[in-house]
Amino acid sequence: MAKKLMIIDTDCGIDDAQAIMMALAAPNVHILAVTCVFGNAAVDNVCQNVLTVLSVCERQGIPVFRGSAVPLVTVYDHIQDHFGSDGLGDVIKDKDPKWEEKIQKEHAVNAMVRLVSENQNQVSLVALGPLTNLALAVRLDPHFPQKLKDLYIMGGNMEGKGNVRLCGEFNFVMDPESAYVVLEEFLCQTFIATWEFSCRNALTWEFFEELMNQDAPAARFMKMITSKCWAYSKEAMKNKRDIYFGPGFVSYDSYAMAACIDGSVVTESVECPVRVELQGSMARGMMVLDRTDELKKSHSVSVFSKCDVARFGQLLMESLRQPGIK
C-alpha cells in the first residue's frame, strides 16, 4: 500500500510532540517535512523541540524547516507558558549547541510550497500551531491549497468556549488573520479538531499513567517532559477546562493527527462553512460555524464532533513505544 504523504506544521509544545510521535509510529505515513512556527514557544525553541522529538524516536532523517517567528499582523504575545517557556516543560537540560546546523536552510513556507508542488494532490498537511505558515503559503502560491490532498487543523472552537480567551482557542487567537485567510482561501478538503472537541473526548488520568509508564524511550521522554508541567497535573487542572468538560487528560494536537492517520477515529462531524471573527474585544479569534448558510460561502469544512476514544487511545499507546525494533 502506498504511504500517505504528510507535512506537519507545528509550534512544538508537549501535545505537538505527542502528535508528531503518533505520525512517526504510523506505518502508513511518510513524513516529508516538519515545518516550524512560533506559538507554544519562540520558533527557535520549536525547531529545537522538533529535533529532540525526532532524535528520541531515532528519525533524524526527516527534514525540519524554520518558519514564521511572529503573526501576520499583530505582535507575538506569548500569552501563557502552558507547556513551560521552552514548550517542552522546561526540564530538558542538555540542549544541542549545534541544533541550528540541523535545520534546513530553506524557509518553511518555501519548503511547503515546493514539496506540495512536487507531490500534487498527494500531501496531507497537518497544522498543529498558529496558521501563519499556511497563510503565507497561499500568498506565495495561490494554487497551493488546491494542490493539497487535504488539510487537518487543530484549532478554533465550535461552542463559543475558549481556553486563552473567553471564546477563543490558542492557535487561532495567536494569529487570527492567518486563521481567517486559511479558512477562507484553502478550498481543499479541510478537517478541524476544535478545542471543545478535544476536551469532550478526554482520556482518563488512569489512562495517562498507563501511557507514560510504558517501557520505551519515547514514553520515558514524554513522562519526563510532562512531569513538572501543570497542564499534565491532575490536581492543577481544576480550571476552566474541568469546569466546562469535567476532569481528564487531553492531548489536543493528537486528535487532528489521529484523524489524518486513521479516518475511523472520527465517528461524527458537522459539515458547514466556518469563519474566524477578526473584530471585537471578546470574540477576536473565535471560529463561528455557519449552519444556516448566512455567510453564503461556497466552501464547507468538516468540524469533528465525535471520536472513537478507544481507537484514539490505542494510537497514543503505540506512539510511545518508540523507537521500535528494527
Please give the residue ranges that form the binding site for Ca ion (CB under 5 A). Answer: 11, 16, 128-129, 253
Residue nearer to Ca ion on the CB measure, 141 or 169: 169
Of 217, 204, 190, 177, the closest CA to residue 272 belongs to: 190
Residue 305 corresponds to which cell in the numbers above?
464532533
Q: Please, what is the minimum distance in Å from the beta carbon of residue 81 to Ca ion?
A: 14
Q: Please, what is the minimum distance in Å from the beta carbon of residue 130 to Ca ion?
A: 9
Q: Please, what is the minimum distance in Å from the beta carbon of residue 28 to Ca ion?
A: 23
Q: Please, what is the minimum distance in Å from the beta carbon of residue 89 to Ca ion?
A: 14
DSSP string, 135-204: HHHHHH-TTHHHHSSEEEEE---SSS--SSBTTB-HHHHH-HHHHHHHHHH--SEEEEE-HHHHHHTPBP
Residue nearer to Ca ion on the CB measure, 11 or 86: 11
Q: Please, what is the minimum distance in Å from the beta carbon of residue 195 to Ca ion?
A: 11
Q: Please, what is the minimum distance in Å from the beta carbon of residue 94 to Ca ion?
A: 24
Residue nearer to Ca ion on the CB measure, 8 or 272: 8
Residue 88 corresponds to which cell in the numbers above?
517542552
Helices 132-140 and 108-118: crossing angle, nearest 10°? Answer: 60
Residue nearer to Ca ion on the CB measure, 38 or 272: 38
Of 10, 13, 15, the closest CA to residue 250 belongs to: 15
Of 112, 182, 110, 180, the closest CA to residue 152 belongs to: 182
Q: Please, what is the minimum distance in Å from the beta carbon of residue 32 to Ca ion?
A: 19
Residue nearer to Ca ion on the CB measure, 86 or 253: 253
C-alpha 131/C-alpha 171 separation (Å) is 7
Cell 492557535, residue located: 171
C-alpha 285/C-alpha 274 separation (Å) is 12
Instruction: Report the SS3 class of residue 243.
Output: helix
C-alpha 9/C-alpha 252 separation (Å) is 15
Residue nearer to Ca ion on the CB measure, 5 or 193: 193
Residue nearer to Ca ion on the CB measure, 122 or 254: 254
